Structure 1
Amino acid sequence: MQVTSVGHAGFHIQTGAGSILCDPWVNPAYFASWFPFPDNTGLNWAALGDCDYLYVSHLHKDHFDPQLLREHVNKDATVLLPDYPVPDLKRELEALGFHKFYETEDSVKHTVTGPKGALEIMIIALRAPADGPLGDSALVVSDGTTTAFNMNDARPVDLDVVGEHFGRIDVHMLQYSGAIWYPWVYEMSERTKRAHGEQKRQRQMDRARSYVETVGAVHVIPSAGPPVFLDDQLRFLNDDAGDPANIFPDQTVFLGELEKHGIDGGILMIPGTTAEFDHDSVTVTHPIPDSQVQKIFTDKAAYIEDMATRMAPVIAAEKAAWAPAAGESLYEPLRALFEPIMKQTDQISEGIGYPVALQMTENGEIVETVVLDFPERTVRPRKEVERRFRYGFTMDRSLVRTVLRDGEPDWVNSIFLSIRFRTWRIGGYNEYLYTFFKCLTDERIAYADGWFAEGKDDSDTIELGDWRMQRRCPHLKADLSKFGVIEGTTLTCNMHGWQWDLETGRCKTSRGHELRCDPLEAGQAAEEPSGGTAD
């Protein structure tokens, strides 16, 4: 099996039974904020696109690149389709001309037979509202000699199924770097931002290392990040100076983290690097001399500066295509979009529980404020007596006009991931609020509201430290016997870093999501260790 990096989370997997192109991305994403790092524009995309199979893990725009798929990828390729409850991914691919789909079942091993032979595959489909745009997935593929587990930026809660179906994993590709706007967009002091940034940077690498340790693959390829930010307004987000508070560390940082914990087998890849796997051995070939590969990371600021200069016309063209900021009030278009969605949801509107302010700016000045009143299920102008809101967003009107013009069903997958906004909150993170913004269609909101209504399965019980509690995390059902860590009376689920007060069961991270837990009786020893698998 030959695995070639095509940048970010993208790989071209060549086997005797056919080739699989995974998550190819080259064009800037999220309002020209994100670019692949290192640069992958020089790859032979026509050759890479002449594939037998296509796998797009989910609809995030650093994985789903419509322009690239339309212009360069073989439309007769068989799409390996994750088992999602909302068929948006299939519809988007059909609109681009793809017509052959192999529809998988979640976490079921399949044998896919083509003209060149048979491959064994499994796609783990994550279906919670917080997973990507209502779905994320991971691919396992075996050609009979080598087994690759391409986890991209998915966070599966059950990894046992991989070993049960495939045994040894030869190569594991996974995310380790940030892919979020927190904490830099929040209204808080610089000192507080840095403290949160340091914590998040370490937590995301700990989580990735936990996956590496659990899977136990012979080789590990850090992937799915980081992006590079080339717009002058966003250049501060790049980790080009070894800042411990930066949430976008690069591949070399994570490989160093693995080595620090005694984990061998890490492979550094840049776009165009190939890795030829043969049982326990691997041959890695870079498209440029090794010294130049290292210079990308040791002299990263210069590399980014050069890339920013070359991509400046691309950014300018993207910005020119945005809708103009000036014009009539956006109150009526926003009311027409949001109110029907708000009226369809009980769980999400009640979970948000407060009016939310949407402040829109022109040239940096707030020119209009629209209030999403979730308790009343209405959209209205701001009242003069309202001074401060529990939740609020500030964003340029041109971005809002653009997503309205384009009928964008997911503001998380557009404005928020662009990091071109500011926000505040009083209290903890509210998962319901961000779920609402990614579910701006009737079908999406119905699914998400129903998912919350079904509640969490807390029937199974474990003992962890001095406590008895439900096995499944109330957030996204991660197994707390593996991802739960207790410090004092606080439980942290290292899958996403959510925390609970064990004395009350109250979630310290977000509203709702209470944990069923009780202290063990005096003298009763827990069978589980006090800390599960750290992430």
Structure 2
Amino acid sequence: MEVRFLGHASIYIKTEHVSIVTDPWFSRRGAFLWSWFQFPDNTELDLGFFKDVDYVVLSHEHQDHFDVPFLKTLSPATKVVIPQYTDTYLFDTLRANIANEVIVCPTLQKLQLGDVTFRPVVQSVPFWDDCTLIFDTPDGTIIDVNDMKLGSADAEWITRHYPEPLLLFLQYSGATYFPYAYEMPQERKVELAQRRVRSKFHGVKQMFGSLNARYLVPCAGPAAFLDESQFALNFAPESIFPSQADFYAYAEEEGFAERTLILLPGQAIDFGRQAKEQSLESLQDRAFTDRTGYLADYRERRKELIAEGLASLPDHFESLVPRFQEFLEPLLASSPFFRRKIGGAVLFDLGGSYPEQILVDFRRVRGACKAYEGEAYFYRFTIDGRILALYLNGQLHFDQLLLSLRFKARREPDVFNEYLFMFLRFADPASYAQIQRYEEQRAFDERFELDYGGERYSVQRYCPHAMGDLSKGEVEDGALVCPNHGWRFSLETGEAQRQMGCIAIDRIGHAATGEGSAAGQLTGPA
């Protein structure tokens, strides 16, 4: 069997009877409004072998995994396999752009691809459209988690069915706009970013151990930020985008580097060599030894393309208030649940060809969208009106807008309102109704016991955000940190520290030793 890394989250698997590629991303245009580019650059690879690829398997809809311009170049004989999600965006977009056969595979179902058995594990928490791809080959099982935050139920299912996988491909670098896009004191931004990086690394280590894979391949990040306005983010202390070299240093500190493979785009895994030998060889590449110079040269190669892309955004020379009203007010009318959960007004401070300030009061239906006249608001988005117009006109997903990092945000109080972002992301009454049903049916009765600081606590097991298993978390500075997305809950009150939400937690006595267990030790379900 040949397993070759093609960059970012793309893997080439070739056995005696089949060839498969996952999540190919080779577009020189990058992703998310010319903000993200592949690191290291994989666009110079010889892709001649693609004419003979039997299957392309896609995990989810984000542009760094779903590269439509590249998919248009596939051989007509290549079949495309996608997971079955609650919405049909992937399928509909493929049908509108390519003539290849598209196979939709339901979660956990087996699909035979030559001598490889494929199974998708779609995120069991609704509305998180991510998917782990499992390839059971004659020479071992390959688990490609990519961006998915594996919940306990999904991870336990995988370990039951695939107890000793050969390879685990897993995202280790950040992939979000927080805290970079938020206006806050610099020292606070750095503190939050460094905390998120530590939490992400710890989560990868835990998942690697939990899934019991022989080798870990850290992948699916970071992006290279090559626009001049974003270039400093590659190196800034407030960045949540560490390099493969940073992660490998952590793996060395934590004692699992000898089972960690750092791969360059185009590099095949040599199963006859030690992983450490291959990794140290990869880390001698200029992308890691001279990252600043490497990225500066890369920026020059993309400068014209980025400038042309941004210049192509259509100008508008009239107020967007009517478009806000037409787009958002019917959505607000459809969901009292979301109006109540958002519970406030948001200011959109628009720049570009027609600067203006628009207030949206998410508590209202009629007159919810209007020109700003000094009213109170709890969130402010500062953004080029040309970009927001793309969203209002259905040409840009809200996720794509956020991941472009081409906006600034401010919130008062400094608390994440998840419902605001879900409302803008889904923009669909049927999805709102599904989310409401899911929220109202969730059960949080299961508990576990935690020993910390000489005290024993009975704690709600599942995080209210995305059902992450808090019993797999760790305690930092008196807060229990969810291993999935890093939400932090006070051990004293159960309140989320920077988000809306809380967990049930009770102090039930002293730890068994009298002094308390090691910090954050978890004793399992109560």
- TM, length-normalised to structure 2: 0.89
1:210 aligns with 2:196: no
Q: Which amino acid aligns with 1:470?
A: Q
1:424 to 407, 410, 428: 410
- The 5 A counterparts of 1:219-368 are 219-239=215-235, 244-263=237-256, 264-277=258-271, 293-324=284-315, 326-362=316-352, 367-368=355-356
CA distance in 1, matches of 2:511, 2:305: 67
SS in structure 2 at match of 1:464: strand
- The 5 A counterparts of 1:89-168 are 89-97=90-98, 100-108=101-109, 110-113=110-113, 117-126=114-123, 128=125, 131=128, 135-158=129-152, 159-168=155-164
Instruction: Tell me which residue corresponds to 1:470.
Output: 460
> Could you tell me whether the CA contact under 8 Å between 2:84 and 2:107 is conserved in 1?
yes
5+ unaligned residues in a row in structure 2: which ranges?
A: none
CA distance in 2, matches of 1:523, 1:223: 39
Q: Which amino acid aligns with 1:201?
A: V
How many angstroms does 1:507 deviate by? 2.8
Instruction: Tell me which residue corresponds to 2:9.
Output: 9
> Could you tell me whether the CA contact under 8 Å between 2:131 and 2:148 is conserved in 1?
yes
How many angstroms does 1:369 deviate by? 1.3
CA distance in 2, matches of 1:362, 1:269: 41
> Could you tell me whether the CA contact under 8 Å between 1:86 and 1:443 is conserved in 2?
no
How many angstroms does 1:266 deviate by? 1.4
SS in structure 2 at match of 1:328: coil
Instruction: Tell me which residue corresponds to 2:384.
Output: 396
2:46 to 40, 44, 47: 44
1:499 to 488, 493, 496: 488
CA distance in 2, matches of 1:70, 1:499: 43
SS in structure 2 at match of 1:476: coil
**Compared CA separation, residues 459 and 252, structure 1 to 2 (3 A):** same
Q: Which amino acid aligns with 2:229?
A: Q
Instruction: Tell me which residue corresponds to 1:172.
Output: 168
How many angstroms does 1:528 deviate by? 9.9
> Could you tell me whether the CA contact under 8 Å between 2:339 and 2:362 is conserved in 1?
yes
CA distance in 1, matches of 2:477, 2:228: 44
SS in structure 2 at match of 1:142: strand
**Compared CA separation, residues 160 and 225, structure 1 to 2 (3 A):** same
2:362 to 374, 381, 404: 374
How many angstroms does 1:276 deviate by? 4.1
**Compared CA separation, residues 395 and 244, structure 1 to 2 (3 A):** closer
CA distance in 2, matches of 1:107, 1:16: 25
Deviations 1:155-212 (A, max 9, x none): 1113122221122111111111111111121111222212222212222222222212
SS in structure 1 at match of 2:402: helix
Q: Which amino acid aligns with 1:7?
A: G
Q: Which amino acid aligns with 1:435?
A: M
Instruction: Tell me which residue corresponds to 1:511.
Output: 500
**Compared CA separation, residues 282 and 203, structure 1 to 2 (3 A):** closer
Deviations 1:334-366 (A, max 9, x none): 221111222222333322111111110127xx9
Larger mean CA deviation between 246-255 and 445-454 belongs to 445-454
How many angstroms does 1:216 deviate by? 2.6
Instruction: Tell me which residue corresponds to 1:55.
Output: 57
> Could you tell me whether the CA contact under 8 Å between 1:11 and 1:23 is conserved in 2?
yes
How many angstroms does 1:523 deviate by? 8.2
How many angstroms does 1:283 deviate by? 11
2:479 to 490, 501, 504: 490
Q: Which amino acid aligns with 2:403?
A: L
- TM, length-normalised to structure 1: 0.88
1:411 to 398, 403, 409: 398
How many angstroms does 1:531 deviate by? 2.8
How many angstroms does 1:282 deviate by? 6.9
**Compared CA separation, residues 461 and 68, structure 1 to 2 (3 A):** same
How many angstroms does 1:522 deviate by? 6.5
**Compared CA separation, residues 188 and 76, structure 1 to 2 (3 A):** same
Deviations 1:75-95 (A, max 9, x none): 443333223122222222222
Q: Which amino acid aligns with 2:499?
A: S
CA distance in 1, matches of 2:277, 2:137: 19
> Could you tell me whether the CA contact under 8 Å between 1:26 and 1:35 is conserved in 2?
no
**Compared CA separation, residues 96 and 76, structure 1 to 2 (3 A):** farther
Q: Which amino acid aligns with 2:483?
A: N
Instruction: Tell me which residue corresponds to 2:434.
Output: 447
How many angstroms does 1:293 deviate by? 5.0
**Compared CA separation, residues 189 and 49, structure 1 to 2 (3 A):** farther
> Could you tell me whether the CA contact under 8 Å between 2:347 and 2:372 is conserved in 1?
no
**Compared CA separation, residues 98 and 252, structure 1 to 2 (3 A):** farther
CA distance in 2, matches of 1:380, 1:105: 40
Q: Which amino acid aligns with 2:75?
A: N
Larger mean CA deviation between 429-438 and 464-473 belongs to 464-473
**Compared CA separation, residues 20 and 254, structure 1 to 2 (3 A):** same
**Compared CA separation, residues 77 and 453, structure 1 to 2 (3 A):** farther
Instruction: Tell me which residue corresponds to 1:66.
Output: 68
Deviations 1:236-292 (A, max 9, x none): 1113xxx554311111111111111010221121211111447x9779989xx9589
CA distance in 1, matches of 2:99, 2:459: 47
2:193 to 192, 197, 206: 197
Larger mean CA deviation between 444-453 and 250-259 belongs to 444-453
SS in structure 1 at match of 2:364: coil
CA distance in 2, matches of 1:35, 1:523: 49
How many angstroms does 1:11 deviate by? 1.4
**Compared CA separation, residues 510 and 200, structure 1 to 2 (3 A):** same
CA distance in 1, matches of 2:308, 2:396: 23
**Compared CA separation, residues 129 and 75, structure 1 to 2 (3 A):** farther
CA distance in 2, matches of 1:244, 1:250: 13
